[in-house]
Chains A and B, each alone.
Chain A
Amino acid sequence: MSQYWRKNQVKIAPWLFLAPAFLVFALYVLNPIAQSVWISFHEWDGLGEKTFIGLANYEELFEDEQFWISLENNVYWLVLYMLAPPIGLAIALFLNQNVPGIRLVKSLFFFPFVISQVVVGLIFAWFYDPHNGLLTLLLGSIGIEPIAILSDEDLVTYGIIAAGLWPQVAYCMILYLTGLNSLSPDQIEAARLDGAKGLRMLWHVILPQLMPATFIAIVVTVIGALRSFDLVAIMTDGGPYGSSSVLAYFMYEQSMFNYRMGYGAAIATVLFLIMDIYIAFFLWRMIRAERS
């Protein structure tokens, strides 16, 4: 035994090192993915027997108006969230100076990302309050009538997305601040000698060097947009009349409140497939970088 161990240690040890992480991950992440897809072919209330119904959940889903509303809202989230990297970059450029106290200012700018989305949701619900919210007061001071953003079917999703952008911009800002710190000074000096400055400099010299930061910023922003659940649940519960729902929330609602596990699993599977496009892209890039 010990003879065998000594001889093959280098071969066996890595698998032992890997085992705990892999086992918990397989049990709680990999297996549930497969199970969810399987459940999506059934009708199930979560307690009784599952009844296999083939693709019926998906057929129903594609005719369900609430599904399309949620999907559309996910698209809004995705598109508007893409504002986070450029705004984050703008703030990072603004803050990338060496004046006294700037370190503290940078950390304070980063604050919204550190606090829980539950708190962000509560803060913004308060901010939008049509009676005494700050937004109402600000609009009132320039003569605009109060708008109840969170109870307006057309505006509610934008209101929630704005709340979500607050921490997301902070995240992108920190990525860019770190990126700006590791710029090559030689290239910048050379470009300056050639007379480059301002936006042209930013576009042709700085942005290419910030590519890694941009890549991470876009990945985390896309994932954040598609994962949006907390803010919707905190601020509106998907309302009014389901107009601010997103797939993540719609799934939760169907399974937890309506006990339609099969249907919920089908929604989750669709969301998972959408997300897979981005995950595959990320993995492909990562593996390519790994090989080179």
Chain B
Amino acid sequence: MFPRPIEKAPRSRQIAYKTLLPIALIAWLLPLVAVMMTSARSIDDLNKGNYWGLPEKWMLIENYAEIFRVTPMATYMLNSVIITLPTVIVSVAFATMAGFALAKYNIRFRILLFAIFVGGNFIPFQILMIPVRTLTIDLGFYDTPWALIVFHTAFQTGFCTLFMRNFIAALPNELIEAARVEGVSEWKIFRHIIVPLVRPALAALSVLIFTFVWNDYFWSLVLVQSDEVRPITAGLNALKGQWLASWQLISAGSIIAALPPVALFFLMQRHFIAGLTLGATKG
């Protein structure tokens, strides 16, 4: 283990380390802590300039109730869910099939096809913006949830395919070949051998894609415009414009927007990190 385990260090260093750890953590999360505190403040507190002390009066429940009452926060949240869930399911499904095709069949152009999925996933969004916007309008999807669902599904398929292909490539070939000799159809091989084996990867990937899509801001500016369709990221920014002076509400809104990915991260931490670091531990 590197660095050398602290248990082997002198006691004084151990104590120093254990004191430093929470201090470093608080310093690192200071901006976030401040926002959490602000979300529990009263407007009087803010007017008096008490931004960083303890709230004089705790308004936690009031502020969070207020934001749902006076702003379309609930609609924004629901929109984000409506956009994110189908995207995750469909892009992961498409990519599992594509990943299987690229990993376990010796088809022509397979490296080229794989490179296209990988490369496409790193390009700047702006190179897609104008044509995707035009296409969305032509298909009649503009300013509907479909605009974002279809685009995100297509775009995330690139990353998902990279991920699934690497995962499936590491599975043993023997199972597939044995099944083929038995006369099992290719679809059944996929459905009954591959899918059960990739389940951990599906979980990791789903968590990751959920976070990516949930947190998207750019496309929610470009492909939708009304409050009825806006996801939470664009909604939050719209609120910032309307509620400029009400920082306690903006803060509460920020915390709410951050909650689903954070909760998911905590619940599925192992999967999440496995997803992010895929390829980082093997060259």
Contacts and interface: CB of A to CB of B under 8 A. Distances in A.
Interface string B102-146: 100101000101011111101111111111101100000000000
Contacts of A112: 29, 32
Interface of A: 9-10, 13-15, 17-18, 20-22, 24-25, 27-33, 35-36, 39, 46, 93-94, 96-99, 102, 105, 107-112, 114-119, 122-124, 126-127, 131-134, 137, 166, 171, 174-175, 178-180, 182-183, 185, 188, 197, 201-202, 205-206, 211-213, 215-217, 223, 226-227, 229-230, 233-234, 247-248, 251-252, 255-256, 261, 264-265, 267-269, 271-272, 275, 278-279, 282-283, 286-287, 289-290
B283 A211 contact: yes
A46 B52 CA distance: 47
Contacts of A166: 31
B126 A20 contact: no
B128 A33 contact: yes
B281 A182 contact: yes
Looking at chain B, what size class is its interface with the partner chain?
35 or more
B120 A283 contact: no
B85 interface: no
B233 A118 contact: yes
A29 B120 CA distance: 7
Contacts of A97: 3, 5-6, 17
B129 A255 contact: yes
B237 A93 contact: no
Nearest to B111: A287
B254 A98 contact: no
Given A119-B258, A287-B115, A111 B120 contact: no
Given A178-B273, A255-B129, A248 B236 contact: no
B126 A122 contact: no
Contact of A116 (B233, B247, B276): B233
Interface of B: 1-7, 17-18, 21, 24-25, 28-32, 34-35, 38, 49, 51-52, 94-95, 97-98, 100-102, 105, 107, 111, 113, 115-120, 122-132, 134-135, 150-151, 153-155, 157-158, 161, 180, 185-187, 190, 211, 214-215, 217-218, 221-222, 232-233, 236-237, 240, 247, 250-251, 254, 257-258, 261-262, 265-266, 269, 273, 276-277, 279-283
Looking at chain A's contact residues, the main secondary structure is helix
Contacts of A133: 51
Contact of B34 (A20, A33, A126, A174): A126
Nearest to B100: A17
A151 to B, nearest CB: 15
A13 B105 contact: yes
B122 A275 contact: yes
B113 to A, nearest CB: 7
A127 B95 CA distance: 41
Contact of B25 (A18, A31, A105, A118): A105
Contacts of B186: 9-10, 13
A261 B6 CA distance: 59
Contact of B1 (A28, A39, A119, A183): A183
A98 B7 contact: yes
Given A96-B3, A180-B2, A279-B119, 17 more contacts: A17-B101, A18-B113, A21-B157, A36-B131, A94-B24, A105-B21, A108-B25, A109-B25, A111-B29, A111-B262, A201-B2, A212-B281, A216-B277, A223-B122, A227-B125, A230-B218, A268-B126
Contacts of A247: 124, 126
Contacts of B280: 175, 178-179, 212-213, 215-217
Given A14-B107, A212-B281, A265-B130, A283 B119 contact: yes
B48 to A, nearest CB: 10
